[in-house]
Amino acid sequence: MSNIDVLISGISELGIDLDEDRRDKFAKFKSLLKEWNEVINITAIKDDAEIDIKHFLDSLTIFKTGKIVKGVKIIDIGTGGGFPGMPIKIVENDTQILLLDSLNKRLKFLNEVIEKLELKDISTIHERAEALGNNKEYREQYDIAVSRAVASLNILSEYCLPFVKIGGYFIAMKGSDSKEEVEGSRNAIKILGGELEDKIDIKIPNSDIVHSLLIIKKTSHTPTKYPRQGGKIKKNPL
């Protein structure tokens, strides 16, 4: 018995093999998550099986896109407790990952996870997405921007697409009822230099929950006036 039994029994459905080192890392990550969650609010999900399903396995469905390959540079926008960025790093160590959030206390937790799990090429940054997206050290520097449970797709596209290189991808992890959201975001995606390439509906292993992965390809530069500042993105979404 380990504290990640549900993860172990479901992960092969996603075509992922968890060796002993990765199992150990997930188990440690979970222990730290539960420990810190007693002190600061990281997640409302506290039960072992639920963490495996709703955080670990859900985050790992992103491997079904085929876009998370060795060597890619990824930014996780609004990472919170490290989802999906931290599970991605544990499974595919040969990635460079930046975990971004505007809430510093969650990043302190993630810095401890990075240290205790001895992870390399992964770091955190305390900033708002719309501010960092205008910084040339970060703008259009990533192969992939990922985001789960942060904002509706039109708003999220303005947060995420500025970070993606031409030819790279913004992958939005959404609920199953994302059809209307997609329709309402087509214009925003186009303005920001993206094109919806695919939508993959996927059942999270060991559950009946179906989520959607929206794969948006960056096809042209994001115009310099985006992302907008000072609450304009939310007040007046594209």
Ligand X SMILES: C[S@@+](CC[C@H](N)C(=O)[O-])C[C@H]1O[C@@H](n2cnc3c(N)ncnc32)[C@H](O)[C@@H]1O
Q: What sign for the dihedral angle of Cα 202, 187, 99, 31?
A: negative
Q: Is 81 in the site for ligand X (CB under 6 A)?
A: yes
Q: Is 148 in the site for ligand X (CB under 6 A)?
A: yes
* Measured distance CA(75)–CA(147) in Å, rounded: 9
Cβ atoms of 85 and 57 within 8 Å: the answer is no
C-beta of 79 vs 124, nearer to ligand X: 79
Q: Write the DSSP assignment of 112-128 as a string of letters.
A: HHHHHTT--SEEEEES-
Identify the residue among 51, 61, 63, 79 touching ligand X (CB under 6 A). Answer: 79
Site string for ligand X, 176-205 (x = CB under 6 A): ------------------------------
Residues 109-128 touching ligand X, rule: CB under 6 A, are 128
C-beta of 149 vs 166, nearer to ligand X: 149
Residues 83-112 touching ligand X, rule: CB under 6 A, are 83, 100-103, 106
Min dist CB 164 to ligand X, Å, is 16
User: How many residues bind to ligand X according to rule CB under 6 A?
Assistant: 17
Q: What are the binding residues for S-adenosyl-L-methionine?
A: 78, 83, 129-130, 148
C-beta of 81 vs 205, nearer to ligand X: 81
Cβ atoms of 54 and 7 within 8 Å: the answer is no
Binding site for ligand X (CB under 6 A): 78-81, 83, 100-103, 106, 128-130, 148-150, 159
